[in-house]
């Protein structure tokens, strides 16, 4: 199994530009999570999906952030327009329900976003 795949690994963009981060969960995992990690705030949950449906988006910082999961094998996190304070590492993670309570979930390698 290839694990959770995120792209790009690194992204440098100018303030005001649109940024799209991508995630392919592990096949068969029905839960998908997006997290953001910064030195100041640690790992923060942004949004999570169950069977492609957004369940909790209370962590999405503001309307500039949006996430979609058009099918079971793909999700995107979009920031439009981007701002320097969005600079962080964005992680995607997935899990099957049966394993969630005992094993947590598997993270992708993350996308390191820098907004200048």
Partner 1 sequence: RKEVEQDPGPFNVPEGATVAFNCTYSNSASQSFFWYRQDCRKEPKLLMSVYSSGNEDGRFTAQLNRASQYISLLIRDSKLSDSATYLCVVMDTGRRALTFGSGTRLQVQP
What is the C-alpha separation between 48 and 41, in angstroms, rounded?
Answer: 19
**In 10 A of CB 2, how many CB atoms?**
7
Among the residue ranges 12-20, 21-29, 70-78, 97-105, the one whose residues contact partner 1 (CB under 8 A): 97-105
* Contact status: 105 vs partner 1 (CB under 8 A): yes
Residue 30 in contact with residue 91, Cβ under 8 Å? Answer: no
Q: Phi and psi for 100 in degrees, rounded to 5? A: -60, -50
* Contact status: 65 vs partner 1 (CB under 8 A): no
Among the residue ranges 14-22, 68-76, 78-86, 100-108, the one whose residues contact partner 1 (CB under 8 A): 100-108
Q: Which of residues 16-35 bind partner 1 (CB under 8 A)?
A: 31, 33, 35
Minimum distance from residue 81 beta carbon to partner 1 (Å) = 27
Nearest-CA neighbor of 26 among 84, 113, 111, 107? 107
**What is the binding site for partner 1 (CB under 8 A)?**
31, 33, 35, 42-43, 45, 48, 50, 55-56, 91, 97, 100-110
């Amino acid at each position: 199994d290839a694990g959770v795949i995120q792209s790009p690994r690194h992204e440098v963009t100018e303030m005001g530009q649109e940024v799209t981060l991508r995630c392919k969960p592990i096949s068969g995992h029905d839960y998908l999570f997006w997290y953001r990690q910064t030195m100041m705030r640690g790992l923060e949950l942004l949004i999570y999906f169950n069977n492609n449906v957004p369940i909790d988006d209370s962590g999405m910082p503001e309307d500039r952030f949006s996430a979609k999961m058009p099918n079971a094998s793909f999700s995107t996190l979009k920031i439009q327009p981007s701002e320097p304070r969005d600079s962080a590492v964005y992680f995607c993670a997935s899990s099957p329900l049966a394993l969630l309570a005992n094993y947590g979930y598997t993270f992708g390698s993350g996308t390191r976003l820098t907004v200048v």
